[in-house]
């Protein structure tokens, strides 16, 4: 079974935990999709982050300054 994947760009540095809450994905799911970003505790601003789209975004995304 395949899952739909999309990319988002945050306009501020974010931890995997913050991105997890914003996208509804688990930290493990995000790490599996973004292995190239695991070398640092923070995901740099303006870096595309892959996430599974079958999870709903929640209100935390607004608080995290989710960019396009």
Grade residue 11 by pLDDT with cuts at 50, 70 and 90: very high
- φ, ψ of residue 21 to 5 degrees: the values are -65, -35
What does the pLDDT look like over 22-68, one tens digit per residue?
A: 999 999 999 999 999 999 999 999 999 999 987 655 444 445 555 54
Give the pLDDT of residue 55: 65
Distance CA 49, CA 36 (A): 10
pTM more than 0.85: no
Q: Which two tokens stand for residue 63?
A: 């608080």
Give the pLDDT of residue 54: 79
Which of 16, 21, 1, 5 is CA-nearest to residue 53? Answer: 5
Give the pLDDT of residue 62: 46
């Amino acid at each position: 079974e395949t899952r739909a994947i999309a990319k988002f760009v945050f306009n501020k540095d974010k931890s995997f935990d913050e991105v997890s809450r914003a996208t509804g994905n688990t930290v493990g799911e995000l790490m599996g999709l973004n292995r190239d970003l695991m070398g640092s505790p923070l995901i740099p601003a303006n870096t595309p982050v892959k996430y599974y789209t079958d999870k709903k975004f929640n209100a935390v995304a607004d608080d995290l300054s989710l960019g396009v």
